[in-house]
Amino acid sequence: MIGRNDLCWCGSQKKWKKCHFPDPGQQTSTKDLQNLYQKKYGIILKTPEQIEGIRASCRFASKILDATCTQAKEGVTTQELNDFAHQMHLDHNAIPAPLHYGEPPFPKSICTSLNNVICHGIPDDVPLKNGDIMNIDVTCILDGYYGDCSRMVCVGDVPKESQHVVDVSHECLMRAIAVLKPGTPINAIGEAIESYAENQDCSVVHQFIGHGVGIRFHENPQIFHNRNKNTTLLVPGMTFTIEPMINLGLPEAVVDEEDQWTARTVDGKCSAQWEHTILITDEGHEVLTIWKK
């Protein structure tokens, strides 16, 4: 718990008792806090209007993700999953954010990362087979706002070790979300994730991170999933993803030299990832992307 004489969580450099507690008349205004975080950290604290737009986009991204996951069965290709998700975007006047994003431009509307692919897997015409594990990642733009989420799919009967990394990665996400509230330093997220992953004989990928999202696809803050020294305090209005990528073996990734997107484990062992977009509220946090598990 923060003490009365500790520095206030808002970054004002005042003691808590002289800022956000106990006299409302001494509180840092929302506008001042927005300006402070924009100037000091490059973090956009969202307005109520922006939050409503982001919330709607996140809900729709979750809807696309859940529907696409139900299509992921043995014999179905990831290209067919891509086409299904793409059409859902079009049917609701939404835009798939990954399509043509980056350099070189990402060629598909969703990411499908199988088995030893950590992230940024490109859908293709290879059918899913029994025992595959796969992350499906959906980011949509709805009315100009971004929603970002992903979850794992297990195809048929998966090996015990594959199920283990799927379960560990989900628990890592849930433990990270549990620590979120105003005044918590960002590095508490990485501590929660890496301490649990290590205890389960898994490793945390360092090369890819979570990120601010909502107004743009990728914003500040950067959210590292491993232990780090970022002590920036969480404040209301921050929106960001937590998306721990957990490996059965070594934590390093190798990016495909040809497509320059697909990231695989360096040792060929399985990887798993789950992702939510989170809003920091006055009381704690809100998960904006509610997918089915």
Comparing CA positions, the residue from 141, 139, 122, 42 lying closest to residue 81 is 122
Q: Which residues of the chain have pLDDT under 70?
A: 1-4, 9-11, 16-17, 20-28
pLDDT at residue number 36: 87
Q: Which residues contact 24 (CB under 8 A, 6 or more apart)?
A: none
pLDDT at residue number 292: 77
Given the DSSP bridges, would you call strands 210-212 and 219-223 parallel, antiparallel or unpaired?
antiparallel
Chain segment 14-54, per-residue pLDDT in tens:
776 677 655 544 556 788 889 889 999 999 999 999 999 99
Q: What is the pTM of this model?
A: 0.92
pLDDT at residue number 31: 84
Chain segment 202-214, per-residue pLDDT in tens:
999 999 999 999 9
| Domains of the chain in sequence order | 49-287 (3.90.230.10)
What strands lie across the sheet with 245-247, from one edge to the other? 203-204, 245-247, 271-273
pLDDT at residue number 258: 97
pLDDT at residue number 142: 98
pLDDT at residue number 30: 80
Comparing CA positions, the residue from 220, 224, 68 lying closest to residue 138 is 68
pLDDT at residue number 28: 64
If residue 134 lies in a helix (H) or strand (E), which one and from where to where? strand 133-142
In the three-class reduction of DSSP (H, G, I as helix; E, B as strand; rest coil), residue 233 is classed as strand
Q: What is the Cα–Cα distance from 5 to 10, expressed in whole angstroms?
A: 14
pLDDT at residue number 32: 82
pLDDT at residue number 1: 47
> What letter represents residue 248's amino acid?
L
Burial class (CB in 10 A: 0-12, 13-18, 19+), 73: middle
